[in-house]
Structure formats: C-alpha cells, structure tokens
Amino acid sequence: MADNMSKITAVLVLGVMILFGAFFVFGNKKDFSENENRELAETPDLSLSDAVDGKFAKNTEKYFTDHFPFRDRFIAGSAKLSTLVSESIVNGVYVSGDRLLDVSAEERDATDKSAELINNFCKDHSSAAYFVCVPTSSGVYGDEIPPYYQKNIENRQITSLYNSLSADIRRIDAYNILKMLNENYIYYKNDNKWTTYGAYCVYKTVIQKLGFSPIPYSKYTVEHVDFDFRGNLYDITQYKDIDPDTIDIYKCLSSVKIKSCISYDNNGKRENLKLCDKERLDSAYKYDVYLGETKPYLNIKTTVNNNRKLLVIKDRFGDCFIPFLTQHYSEIAVVSPEELNVPLSSIVNVDSYEQTLFIMGINSMSNSELFELLNK
C-alpha cells in the first residue's frame, strides 16, 4: 500500500506544480495591482549582458512572483499564517492589535545630507523658512511596537534633523503635538500617514507661527467620504483583520473660494485640479482624494485678498494639510520634490514668496536625492 500511496503523492504534487505553472503561462497578466497599489514587474528582456550578470534571472524571478496565479489571495494567507506561527511582523510591518505599524525606522539613513541641502536652499533665498517634520504612525504609536525596537527612534531622528538645520529656519514641533493627542483618530490604521484631523491639529500651531490665527474646528464641517480606505501599509501586508480607515474632507464655512488650482508636470503641461476630488475614491489609493496623484508643481489661487504668497515644499504628508492653508493666503505654490525632475528655479521664482513652508514626513528625510533639484 505504501507503494501506491507514494505514487499518488507523485501524481498529486506534480499535478499541483504543473497546474500552477500552466495557470501562470496561460493566465491573464495585469500590469498594475489594484490591491497592492503598484506596477507589477514587466516581462524581462533577454539580453546578453543581463544574462551574464544575473539581472535576467532576477527579473524573471520577480516577474514570475508578481504574476503568480492567485497572488493576492496567497499573500493575504501568508500574512495570516505568519502572524500565527511567529511574531506579528509581516513583510516588515508590525500588526499591532488594531493598527499596522512600519518598523523599519531604525534602518533609515542619516538625515544630515538632506539638512545640508535644505540649509543651502534657504541661504540662497530671501523667503522666511519654516520646517514641519511629521512622524509616521510608528513614531506616534511607538509604544505598541515590539519591545526590542528602539522606542522613540523617530523622535530622535526628528531632533537630530532639527539640530542640523541652520538657525534661521523656524522649526515646528509636530511630534509632541501628535504624541499628546494619540488617543484621537490622528493617524490611519492601515497607512503610515496622519489623518486630516491629525493634520488639522498641527495646522493650528503652524499657522500661528506663520502669523495668522487658526480657524477654529467649529468653523468646519467634516464629511466622511469613505469608510473603506486601505493604505500603504495594507498594500505591503495585505492583512485584512484591521478595520479599514475613514477618509474625511474638511469644508470651511467661510467666504474664501478657490479661484484656481492648476497642476504642472515636468514638461510644463497644465491641468485643472480640485483640492479634494471625490472621484479619486475609485482609484487604487484613496488618499489621492487630497490634491490627486502627486504632481511636481501646483499653483493655488484663492479669493483671500491679502496678497500673501506661500511656497510649500512637501511630501505626501502635505496633501491633506494644504487645504487648511488656503484660508489664509491669496496664492500658494506647492512643490513635491519626489516628482520633480527639473530644477526648481525653472518653474518657480522662490524669492517672490515671502514664506516657505516645508512639510515632510521623517521617512522621506533620509532620501537626500529629493532635495538635490531644489538648489539647481
């Protein structure tokens, strides 16, 4: 009997292997994964140099892995299984009781180079500079990550960054504001970014530093536009047992209107944009509701009649923050260094803005390449 069972094993296992292999070969292949919100690997090109140095093998493996049949279901299962058999870290993301937290903060590079580039930028321009460095959710909820990780690592990273910024840049301490309020819904559970409410809490302090009095919370109506938001940490883990997030849009009950909001790409192509575009709720990344997909440069003009002009240099943390600023300035220029491919001076005249506000997540600050083009 053992003989026959062995033969059955052979047929079954080989069958499964061939089945999945065939599914891969003949199955439909997508270019983009909605679920993971990323481009999937392209069919590898066979060139001699790639075959010689092993790039071809790597690309082939990546391609096969990305287009493996039922990938989405498999990785969801993988998240479940790995939290069962070992500690709850899935692909570098910690599954805390009710939220996902990125635990890679310790591996980030130093921020000195970025600080140096920003200092150079501010030295070259007359505009008064303000800097808000925002912690990610794992900085604010650091108490929840496994005890062998350093607890206030992001706080220390932010402090070290602030220490290396030159004295005339005004620093705004977002970390302690957020940390104090962390009982509230200030960070998404499935994303490493702050919620609009989190941004509002920091806005109140920032706008005072910029010389205005903040619009009180009572002046806003909050609309919950989506209850099913899964953010970038979910994209990595595909862990479904965390409640999905709510996306809020804040509307101010004031007379200020947006006159125009125009985005420019690197070639100067213009496009009209809405500050909050509900149609984006259908896209793979619902956070795009705020300011749409990231564009290198945005110009917002409002009906505020004070001729105050502000330049904002931001990463994605800034997206839900900027609508709050529109209540105070007649013109706001928004630059996203991560999408910028041309020198900043070729699209914006920095000196025509009396104030420059940086809103950057601490996770972007170790990537000094972002700031190279500011100085050219």
Partner 1 sequence: MLYSSLLFIYIFLPVSILLYYVTPTKHREKTLLILSAVFCGMINLWFLGFMLVYIAVNYIAMRTIDKFSERKEIASIPFAAAVCFDLTAVLIFRTKYFVSFLSDIGVPNGFFPLGISFFTLSVIGTLIDVYTGKMKSDKNVLRFALYIIFFPRLIMGPVMRYGSFNKAVKERRDGLYEMGVGFTIFVKGLAKKIIAADNLYMLYTAVGRVDYNELSALTAWIGITAYILCLYFTLSGFSDMGVGISYCFGVRLPKSFSYPMSSNKIRYFAARWHTNVTHWFRRYVTRPLSRSIKNRYARQAVSIAVWGLFGFWYTFSMNGFIWGLLIGTAMTLESRLDKRRIMMISGVIYTFLIVAVCSVFLAEESFSGAFRYLLAMLGGNRIFADTISLYLLKSYIVILLIGLYISTSLFRNMLIRSGKNKLSKAFNIISPIAVTGMLIVCTVMISYSGSSGMILMKL
Task: Tell whether the torsion through CA atoms of 143, 360, 166 and 307 is positive or negative.
Answer: negative
Task: Tell whether the torsion through CA atoms of 71, 75, 76 and 78 is positive or negative.
Answer: positive
Spatial CA neighbour of 287 closest among 198, 191, 143 = 191
Q: How far is the CB of 85 from partner 1 (least distance, A)?
A: 5
Residue 10 or 180 having the CB closest to partner 1: 10
Q: How far is the CB of 141 from partner 1 (least distance, A)?
A: 16
The contacts of residue 231 (CB under 8 Å, 6+ apart) are: 188, 190, 191, 192, 193, 245, 285, 287
Residue 75 or 247 having the CB closest to partner 1: 75
Residue 18 or 180 having the CB closest to partner 1: 18
Q: How far is the CB of 3 from partner 1 (least distance, A)?
A: 6
Residue 12 or 180 having the CB closest to partner 1: 12
Q: How far is CA 84 from CA 59, 90, 145, 251, 315, in A?
A: 31, 11, 17, 43, 35
Structure tokens at 303: 């009906």
Residue 9 or 163 having the CB closest to partner 1: 9
Q: How far is the CB of 369 from partner 1 (least distance, A)?
A: 21
Query: How many CB atoms are located within 10 Å of the residue 173 CB?
Result: 16
Q: How far is the CB of 138 from partner 1 (least distance, A)?
A: 15
Residue 84 or 167 having the CB closest to partner 1: 84
Q: How far is the CB of 241 from partner 1 (least distance, A)?
A: 16
Residue 87 or 338 having the CB closest to partner 1: 87
Q: How far is the CB of 64 from partner 1 (least distance, A)?
A: 5
Output the DSSP codes for 275-342: SB-GGGGGSS-GGGGBTSS--SEEEEEES--S--EEEEEE-GGGTTTHHHHTTT-SEEEEE-TTT--S
Distance of CA 191 to the CA centre of its chain: 8
Distance between CA 249 and CA 233 in Å, rounded?
22
Residue 77 or 343 having the CB closest to partner 1: 77
Q: How far is the CB of 244 from partner 1 (least distance, A)?
A: 21
Phi, psi of 5 (to 5 degrees): -60, -40
Residue 4 or 341 having the CB closest to partner 1: 4
Query: Which residue ranges make up the site for partner 1 (CB under 8 A)?
Result: 1-3, 5-14, 16-18, 20-21, 24, 51-54, 56-57, 60-62, 64-65, 68, 71, 74-75, 77-78, 81-82, 84-89, 91, 106, 146-149
Looking at the chain, how many residues does it have? 376
Region of residue 118 (left: phi > 0; alpha: psi -120 to 50; beta: else): alpha
Q: How far is CA 117 from CA 13, 201, 354, in A?
A: 57, 29, 20
Residues 333, 318: contact at Cβ < 8 Å? no
Q: How far is the CB of 312 from partner 1 (least distance, A)?
A: 36
Residue 149 or 264 having the CB closest to partner 1: 149
Query: How many CB atoms are located within 10 Å of the residue 159 CB?
Result: 15
Q: How far is the CB of 93 from partner 1 (least distance, A)?
A: 11
Structure tokens at 321: 């923050």
